[in-house]
Structure 1
Amino acid sequence: MRTSQVAPETKSDGGYAALADTFDEFMTTFAEFRDSNDRRLREIETRKGADVVTTEKVDRISDALDRQKQVLDNLALKRVRPALGGRDDALSVADVERKQAFDSYMRSGDERALRSLETKDMSYGSGPDGGYLVPDEVEAEIGRRLASISPIRSIASVTQVSSAVLKKPFMVSGPVTGWVGETAARPKTGSPSLDALQFPAAEIYAMPAATPSLLEDAVVNLDQWIVGEVEAAFAEQEGKAFVDGDGVNMPRGFLDYDREPEADWAWGRIGYLATGAAGAFPAENPADRLIDTIYALKAGYRQNASWVMNRKSQAAIRKMKDADGNYLWQPPATAGSRAMLMGFPVVEAEDMPDIANDATPIAFGDFQRGYLVVDRAGVRVLRDPYSAKPYVLFYVTKRVGGGVQDFNAIKLLKFGVA
């Protein structure tokens, strides 16, 4: 098996050559995986068991596929990232003034201009309250980066609010309806029963550090630096909370809600189907459980549905075939796109649990309709030159919440007898 090599990124091609070479390497590795796994399956059929060497080779190539896919995703992300902090003449006078004031605060701690602007704007951000608001373009760029690298955020519905809690009404029971003739009287219908889902925004933070020399270097774009430093930290914390957060000072993850067998499902709970085997797929026709999970969703939700699982679960499914001998898992069609499972995209979320008895490591659904991410407007930065001398710490905070908004839209596959 060839080792993955990434071509150096050049300014002329914007990294396209590296992306293309890595994608070709990934497809070559997948072809080798397919051939080795076919050999393993033939050995099982003829010898009632696969050769140990063959099994180890399949697992080794599968791990290589995971690593190459991660490199591929990172290269694709770098290519689509827009430059931050363009020409000042593209901004309004007010934007330029605020950007210059923020830059002065970041580099030297001079907050006079920034305090004056925020007092004039009657902003809730201030030094004693925990920092100053970053410029709008920096906040927007953080949001774009998170949407690209945070697995659940990338497929969920995202809304921005100015209050601490978003209350979203929903119908417990719909209005009474009926058929009438064109000229017949319209009798009064019953009133719908309404309730409200609440999505409080909790604080998430990161604390990057900078050296005085970096801050004094006028060539360094501090806007770009702060975005790059916090994106991974925010995405990692968000990703876990959106999956299994308990809703206490954090978003509530979709795995934290009560679960119900699909046959007994009721609003307010997440429906699941069982594999029928403890901690595993059934020995015969394991793909049938995936098909059952797909069709547990109503037709209107399947059109935009995705699979959500971690790489270990994906590796287990990667070896499966359908009744016609076709692999259920298919590699991305192009660099930067998602792998497909039975015609639906696979979203890799490492915070999903591993396959184990009574665990629910695989989710399927329309997360745009099913899960809501709530961002409170405003990202704040507090400069701290004292706590870690000679380094300068930047305490960056934003408020985010989340939870299930449509319990029809998400189904789980439980690895258990019932």
Structure 2
Amino acid sequence: MSNDTHAPEVKGADISEAFGEFMSAFEAFREANDERIAQIETRFGEDVVTAEKVDRIGKALDEQKRAMDQLLLRKARPALGREAGGRVASEHKEAFEAYVRRGDERGLQAVDVKAMSYGSGPDGGYLVPEETETEIGKRLANLSPIRSIASVRQVSTAVLKKPFAVSGPASGWVAETASRPQTNTSTLSELSFPAMEIYAMPAATASLLEDSAVDLDQWIASEVEAAFAEQEGTAFVTGNGTNKPKGFLDYTAVADGSWSWGNLGYVATGVDGALPASNPSDKLIDLIYSLRAGYRQNASFVMNRKVQASIRKLKDADGNYLWQPPAGPGARAMLMGFPLVEAEDMPDAATDSLSIAFGDFGRGYLVVDRTGVRVLRDPYSAKPYVLFYTTKRVGGGVQDFNAIKLMKFGE
């Protein structure tokens, strides 16, 4: 069970203070890195002590950003206690609470019969109330980095099939009174996005279940959010499509000059496991402009913390840092004018690694959520605890291969 069930309220002052500390750390980082660069430019070279200082402050900067994000997430969570005066609960919510607290299935069975629902006990649990499902979806959007920038579609079937035109219809200019020749028909193909099952199993004590002040469906949402987000985050990046979504790095990557539909194009750094020592920003510019103009306006960089730490030290030809801190609490850091999304499942920089992605993920990557989150109450397997086997179905994959480009750390 989560330790923050009765966590103190997070106030705006706490977040402002955390953001102020983050910006102070960035200023210290910038000063130390400027000193390191000045030493490199002299004939004596980089001082080891200064380099270690830059790395140390950089790690502290990452930790403070993570702490600020946690404060923002905690502030977004609803209180687990009931509202004063109490809103009238929906029939489904009341029945679900009776099931969770006491194992009383009668109310949920009645709701299922009225709705002609397929979410009954024999199918492996009961559907959570709509409010709880919505809350889980909102929290996953905050926690799961790729979900936060991808397109998300809810479906009621096991597989979403999406047609796309391989070649569009013929078109051309014609005079006002001239005859219109018949155009060629489009060549259509189909992308398939199956929804796979993801699960979590939070445990509750008898005292928690007996505490009438605790809103149990909100408790379930808070317990499963981290487990679902961690599994999703990995699958959306590196998943192989077998019993999980297909991550965008699992598709075939080809040099951008040889790109074709069904593959993702990459731009090579020309150096094994690193950006070039001279004018490294040029390679990032090449990556940005490998994307068509229509996709660039909503594009984001995606990389992990270690790659971001190395890029944070870089400057452009005018001496300006390529990486800029967030404009405020809850905002994203910027890299060369584009938002930067930190996804820990992206690979570290290594020979031939695809460690940076850039693209319009809203058009490029599709997350498919099958409607319905189910909970099965199990009071027997881990006495004296009660387990709640919670499942949802999620799929994902690339839907537009024009919209995402990669950087290969190699030749």
Structure 2 length as normaliser, TM-score?
A: 0.96
CA contact (8 A) 1:275 1:415 kept: yes
User: Match for 1:269 among 255, 263, 267?
Assistant: 263
User: Match for 2:332 among 338, 363, 370?
Assistant: 338
Give the aligned partner of residue 70 of structure 1.
Answer: 66
Gaps spanning 5+ residues in structure 2: where? 1-6
- For residues 49-198 of structure 1, the aligned pairs below 5 Å read 49-82=45-78, 96-198=90-192
- For residues 218-367 of structure 1, the aligned pairs below 5 Å read 218-367=212-361
Q: Name the SS of the counterpart of 1:301 in structure 2.
A: helix
User: Match for 1:42 among 26, 38, 44?
Assistant: 38
CA contact (8 A) 1:176 1:190 kept: yes
Which amino acid counterpart does residue 200 of structure 1 have in structure 2?
Answer: P
Task: Give 1:49 shift.
Answer: 2.1
- 1:158–1:87: structure 2 CA closer, same or farther, 3 Å change rule? farther
Give the aligned partner of residue 11 of structure 2.
Answer: 15
Q: Name the SS of the counterpart of 1:47 in structure 2.
A: coil
CA contact (8 A) 1:88 1:96 kept: no
Which amino acid counterpart does residue 94 of structure 2 have in structure 1?
Answer: Q
- 1:171–1:366: structure 2 CA closer, same or farther, 3 Å change rule? same
Distance 1:393 1:83 in 2: 22
Give the aligned partner of residue 3 of structure 1.
Answer: none
Q: Tell me if 1:33 matches 2:53.
A: no
- 1:222–1:379: structure 2 CA closer, same or farther, 3 Å change rule? same
Distance 1:226 1:283 in 2: 50
Which amino acid counterpart does residue 296 of structure 2 have in structure 1?
Answer: R
Distance 1:381 1:49 in 2: 61
Which amino acid counterpart does residue 332 of structure 1 have in structure 2?
Answer: P
CA contact (8 A) 1:369 1:405 kept: yes
Which amino acid counterpart does residue 50 of structure 2 have in structure 1?
Answer: T
Instruction: Indicate the larger mover: 110-119 or 223-232.
Output: 110-119
Distance 2:8 2:135 in 1: 24
Gaps spanning 5+ residues in structure 1: where? 1-8
Give the aligned partner of residue 387 of structure 2.
Answer: 393
Distance 2:244 2:45 in 1: 47
Task: Give 1:96 shift.
Answer: 1.8
Task: Give 1:88 shift.
Answer: 9.0
Q: Tell me if 1:204 matches 2:210.
A: no
Give the aligned partner of residue 402 of structure 1.
Answer: 396
Q: Name the SS of the counterpart of 1:147 in structure 2.
A: helix
Distance 2:299 2:145 in 1: 14
Distance 1:249 1:134 in 2: 23
Q: Tell me if 1:384 matches 2:378.
A: yes
Distance 2:281 2:407 in 1: 12
Distance 2:154 2:84 in 1: 27
Which amino acid counterpart does residue 300 of structure 2 have in structure 1?
Answer: S
CA contact (8 A) 1:352 1:361 kept: yes
Which amino acid counterpart does residue 368 of structure 1 have in structure 2?
Answer: G
Distance 1:76 1:377 in 2: 27
CA contact (8 A) 1:174 1:193 kept: yes
Which amino acid counterpart does residue 199 of structure 1 have in structure 2?
Answer: F
Q: What is the aligned length?
A: 404
